[in-house]
Amino acid sequence: MPWNDIYECMPFEALEKFQLEKLRETLYWVHEKVPFYRKKLDEAGVTSEDIQHLEDLSKLPVTVKNDMRDNYPFGLCAVPMEKLVRVHASSGTTGKPITGPYTAEDLDRWTECMARNLWAAGIRREDIVQNTYGYGLFTGGLGFHQGANKIGCIVVPTSSGMTERQVILMQDFGATALFCTPSYALTIAEQAEEMNIDIKKLPLKVGIFGAEPWTKGIHLEIEERMGIKAMEAYGLTEIGGPGVSFDCEAQEGLHINEDHFIPEIVDPVTLQPLPLGEKGELIFTSIQRQAMPMIRYRTKDITRLYREPCACGRTLIKMDKVTGRSDDMLIISGVNVFPSQIESLLLDIDEVEPQYVIVVKKKRHLDHLSIKVEGKNEVYAAGLEKRGEVEEKIVHHIKGMMGIGVEIELVEPKSIARSEGKALRVIDERPKD
Ligand code: DLL
């Protein structure tokens, strides 16, 4: 039985009616409250009255990440500041992050979506869940925490990092469920093996993994090494964090919480809507968010949608696992990283040229990012010690601004191949399967 069978098992016609009503309310609301949307809707010549069917969604303009940057931090808010109770954030394409503000009601709705996700993965009151998603600006930690609280289980809020301690606590507290990124799950498994602790013999029985792409191969490897069932969670800060879509026991696609988010698939180049079942870019319109509703937000995630009867009884539409993006965003152990963001940080450093290559590798299951950047003539010529100082300075700058560890190699001026078209700035050497 789903967490909320009224909404999760709603007949399609009723759902469509509900979505249309909420969509029209949202449009009216953003036109009233958000100058950015008012301008865009007026320019497109569309009002909530023009939306008579869900297909009319395609008449509306899309919203992109840079719109959030241009309206940073609270320009897209549809409520006065005193109504906000929380703000999360995630990486933007350049220096500034993108913000995810919530009203108290938004938090309640998010919690409801997370409870559905956890419940569908088999989490119940009697579970002890170890939540290693980062607590902080990232939506993973608190999002999962709230969902687990709602179900009433015991949460162990370890947050991310200190892997040895994670393993010890998992053993000592008898965690029955683990929440983390898939890459971190493998790191925990490996750490346990090094400590001669057999996770398969511990009470752990399920994990809910997400925040980064992972292949079926990794899925099976986690299940095999930990002796657990691996379930999935998908979401993004822009439309409220995790809880957007989730695995059920059938594990044949992720159910989207459609009473909160209307999905569409479009051609990433023409933006034309594609029929159900075709692969393209996923777009979401939030229809129950107050603080920052999103109209046709381009996720850049590539997937397909299908509406088929599911063995679990849910009628919510399903999406495939997300395996790629239509932009150059990298996900480094769950942290979103744009090459443009790294570039703007490198440009802050006087000692280097704006010539660089980012190399992403897997090192012991974790993503590892290294950057080769050209030193300026005089800096490079000053010798190893000076180069080391500058490398250190860049490492600190990137860590301080983005929160990720990188390895920097200051290389000789003019040693990085110059482009004759699109610059090759990223070399992703991670295995594809
Ligand atoms: O990653 C929210 C989240 C937290 C989801 C915990 C699941 C678990 P952002 O940091 O804003 O939010 O990153 C959003 O991460 O557009 C996808 O590209 C990617 N992503 C999230 N979940 C998955 C997944 C959180 N299950 C971006 N599979 C999204 C593949 C995922 N990619």
Note the pLDDT of residue 292: 98
Architecture per CATH, domain 1-323, reads as: 3-Layer(aba) Sandwich (3.40)
Give the H/E segment covering residue 148.
Answer: helix 139-151
Note the pLDDT of residue 329: 85
**Does residue 221's CB lie within 6 angstroms of at least one atom of ligand 1?**
no
Residue closest via CA to ligand 1's atom 14 equals 236
**Does residue 301's CB lie within 6 angstroms of at least one atom of ligand 1?**
yes
- Give 207-227 pLDDT, tens digit per residue: 999 998 887 878 998 999 999
Note the pLDDT of residue 403: 86
- % helix / strand / coil in the chain, to the nearest 5? 35, 25, 40
Note the pLDDT of residue 420: 55
Q: Are 9 and 315 in contact (CB under 8 A)?
A: yes
Residue closest via CA to ligand 1's atom 4 equals 140
Ligand 1 atom with the smallest distance to the CA of 300 is 16
Q: Domain extents for the chain?
A: 1-323, 329-428
* Rounded Cα gap, residues 35 and 24, in angstroms: 17
* Rounded Cα gap, residues 69 and 408, in angstroms: 27
**Does residue 233's CB lie within 6 angstroms of at least one atom of ligand 1?**
yes
* Rounded Cα gap, residues 277 and 255, in angstroms: 14
* Distance from Cα 60 to the centre of ligand 1, integer Å: 25
Residues of the chain with pLDDT under 70: 93-95, 418-423, 432-433
- Which of 222, 336, 404, 430 to mutate to test ligand 1, by most ligand atoms within 8 A of the CB atom? 336
Helix spans in 277-338 (H): none
Q: 120, 122, 129: which is closest to 154 by C-alpha?
A: 129
Note the pLDDT of residue 325: 83
* Distance from Cα 211 to the centre of ligand 1, integer Å: 3
**Does residue 234's CB lie within 6 angstroms of at least one atom of ligand 1?**
yes
- Which of 64, 68, 113, 212 to mutate to test ligand 1, by most ligand atoms within 8 A of the CB atom? 212
**Does residue 243's CB lie within 6 angstroms of at least one atom of ligand 1?**
no
* Rounded Cα gap, residues 284 and 270, in angstroms: 17
* Rounded Cα gap, residues 318 and 308, in angstroms: 8
Q: 321, 349, 179, 184: which is closest to 254 by C-alpha?
A: 321
Note the pLDDT of residue 250: 97
**Does residue 212's CB lie within 6 angstroms of at least one atom of ligand 1?**
yes
Note the pLDDT of residue 280: 94
Q: 87, 167, 97, 110: which is closest to 335 by C-alpha?
A: 97
Same fold, 1-323 and 329-428: no
User: 3-class DSSP state for residue 302?
Assistant: strand
* Reported CATH class of domain 329-428: alpha beta
Note the pLDDT of residue 414: 84
